[in-house]
Structure 1
Amino acid sequence: MSEKIRLEYQPPHDFSNLLGFFAKRAIPGVERVDDASYRRIFILDGKVGEFAVTRAKRGHALDLHIDFADTACFPDIAARVRRMFDLDADITAINAHLGRRRHLKACIAKHPGQRLPGGWDGFEIAIRAVLGQQVTVAAARTLTERVVRKFGHQVDTPQSGKVHLFPTPAALAEAELGGLGITGARIATLHAIAAAARDGRVDFRRERPLAEFVSMWTALPGIGDWTAYYLAMRGLAQADAFPAGDIVLRKAVARDGKPVATKALEEMSQAWRPYRAYAVLHLWRSTMA
């Protein structure tokens, strides 16, 4: 069954910026991103489907084009896409609050439509976050593609032909990841994440408090505060997730040319609550200008 669903949002919304973010990280075969759309092949309830997201021609909305056999799953698919593109944010309130802060005023004025880039699946985000530790975005994408091609389930899709989908927790928990360019320590972390997700010891339940989520994930080997907060930002659309130890953030608010200390940044960020994750995206973006 095919259907187009209109996903409305409160403007402004920087759709182009999100497309750029996803394009740099797109998994070949699974995701396709261009200047006007995001497309993905997925599996849900054991069935394979595809969707595409484009900007609606009228009004403040995105158009979601779904090709999937079970229409009962359409609301779930739409909800996931809404989180991917952060369509439920009260951007007026966020901008009004952060726009009064010294380090963020110019950022908000320059990019008022900044949103949190989400993801289709929390487990996938977690695996990709570990693969991306201490390497470039391009290198992380290459590692991800290798993992997907070797351990992802191959499906035959009507529009895209044969494609390897992202591996399941069960597939990666015991996978032989050697020879793919992944360090031994990260292989151990990937195995730990996959086993924990398979066994239900970690999850992305949206009702879980942020502190509890961070504690749950940092209990795994190789997962520190930075990664846990990053997962909360992207996997839960948690608006107040804040990796205070991030060196780029500490440089973005530098004093006398020196990065502020983690504790000082944590104290400074209290004025940005409850929207610190948006402050993170703005400050990261300001360093790339």
Structure 2
Amino acid sequence: MPGVEEWRDGAYRRTLRLPYGHGIVALTPHPDHIGCRLTLTDPRDLTLAISRCRRLLDLDADPVAVDGQLADDPLLAPLVAKAPGRRVPRTVDEAEFAVRAVLGQQVSTAAARTHAARLVTAHGEPIDDPEGGLTHLFPAPEALADLDPESLALPRSRRTTLLTLVRHLADGTLQLGVENDWERARAQLTALPGFGPWTTEVIAMRALGDPDAILPSDLGIRARRPGARPAAHPAALTARAAAWRPWRAYAVQYLWATEDHAINYLPQ
């Protein structure tokens, strides 16, 4: 997302909204660790910033337990053997991720980035980044709650979805922190206009941190399920995935990574 994230000099860099100020983190992959370089406006945010970066990268997962379970399935076993230890990408900001999930509904990832960049430029908080090209913090729900719907370059139905979401986040009616009840959050999301199973489950997977979240309607998973030609029906995939519990979110990562594909159209 331009302005908030970038890849520079071999590192993933992004801005962080923190309780006492803001920060910029650069995360660099190495063979045996992830290098983490933080620039903070207030050192009191150090512990929380590190925790959020670990969560973003799912560094507290148990890959031995996950891979041991998934490798029992003969169809997943080759994928696990080829690239063991896959993690589930999480987030440093649950509200930000939920907004981005809505912006990505029924459009390509390129279009979703464009929508997000417009939102960031218009409503995000400017920051200085002497070492790179980061320019803003992603706007907080409170900054988006009173937006004029006509100012959003989105279909009318998605404007309603986005504004309803941010208003519930801003007033605390909806909470998506890692400490919140997953099933209650799912029920609250499903009750919002424009929230179908895909959006709800991807938020459960990446924002709430449910390791068993699965997206059986996702075209990428259905098309890439090992041994499945043509794409599997969602009900059939759900039945097959029962053996992957409680690590179905990790199975999704293995299936998404089987090969490059052009499926880029995200449902609700």
AA partner of residue 245 (structure 2): R
Residue in structure 2 matched with residue 236 of structure 1 by the alignment: 208
Q: Distance in 2 between matches of 1:171 and 1:272?
A: 40
Q: Distance in 2 between matches of 1:60 and 1:256?
A: 35
Match of 1:195 among 153, 162, 167: 167
Residue in structure 1 matched with residue 266 of structure 2 by the alignment: none
Deviation for aligned residue 1:72: 2.4
Deviation for aligned residue 1:35: 6.3
Residue in structure 2 matched with residue 95 of structure 1 by the alignment: 67
Checking the alignment, whether the CA contact within 8 Å between 1:32 and 1:38 is kept in structure 2 is: yes
Deviation for aligned residue 1:188: 0.6
Q: Distance in 1 between matches of 2:219 and 2:132?
A: 41
Match of 1:263 among 221, 231, 235: 235
2:22 maps to 1:48: yes
Residue in structure 2 matched with residue 248 of structure 1 by the alignment: 220
Residue in structure 2 matched with residue 17 of structure 1 by the alignment: none
Residue in structure 1 matched with residue 46 of structure 2 by the alignment: 74
Residue in structure 2 matched with residue 6 of structure 1 by the alignment: none
Residue in structure 2 matched with residue 174 of structure 1 by the alignment: 146
Q: Distance in 2 between matches of 1:108 and 1:162?
A: 35
Deviation for aligned residue 1:121: 0.5
Q: Distance in 2 between matches of 1:162 and 1:71?
A: 20
Checking the alignment, whether the CA contact within 8 Å between 1:122 and 1:204 is kept in structure 2 is: yes
Residue in structure 1 matched with residue 58 of structure 2 by the alignment: 86
Percentage of pairs with the same residue? 37
1:145-156 to 2 correspondences below 5 Å: 145-156=117-128
Number of aligned positions between the proteins: 261
2:221 maps to 1:221: no
Tell which has more relative contact order, 1 or 2 (C-alpha 8 A, sep 6+).
Answer: 2
TM-score normalized by structure 1? 0.83
Structure 1: which 5+ runs fail to align?
Answer: 1-26
Deviation for aligned residue 1:162: 8.3
Deviation for aligned residue 1:95: 0.9
Residue in structure 2 matched with residue 11 of structure 1 by the alignment: none
Deviation for aligned residue 1:77: 0.6
CA offsets 1:5-49 (integer angstroms, 9 cap, x no match) = xxxxxxxxxxxxxxxxxxxxxx22221214621112223125122
TM-score normalized by structure 2? 0.89
Q: Distance in 2 between matches of 1:111 and 1:237?
A: 22
AA partner of residue 15 (structure 2): I
Instruction: Name whichever of 204-213 and 240-249 sits farther off.
Output: 204-213
Q: Distance in 2 between matches of 1:206 and 1:180?
A: 29
CA offsets 1:77-110 (integer angstroms, 9 cap, x no match) = 1110001111111101111110121321121122
Secondary structure at 2:204 match in 1 = helix
Deviation for aligned residue 1:131: 0.8
Deviation for aligned residue 1:143: 0.9
2:252 maps to 1:280: yes
Residue in structure 1 matched with residue 106 of structure 2 by the alignment: 134
Residue in structure 2 matched with residue 63 of structure 1 by the alignment: 35
Checking the alignment, whether the CA contact within 8 Å between 1:254 and 1:260 is kept in structure 2 is: no
AA partner of residue 109 (structure 1): A
Secondary structure at 2:25 match in 1 = strand
Q: Distance in 2 between matches of 1:95 and 1:144?
A: 34
Deviation for aligned residue 1:150: 1.0
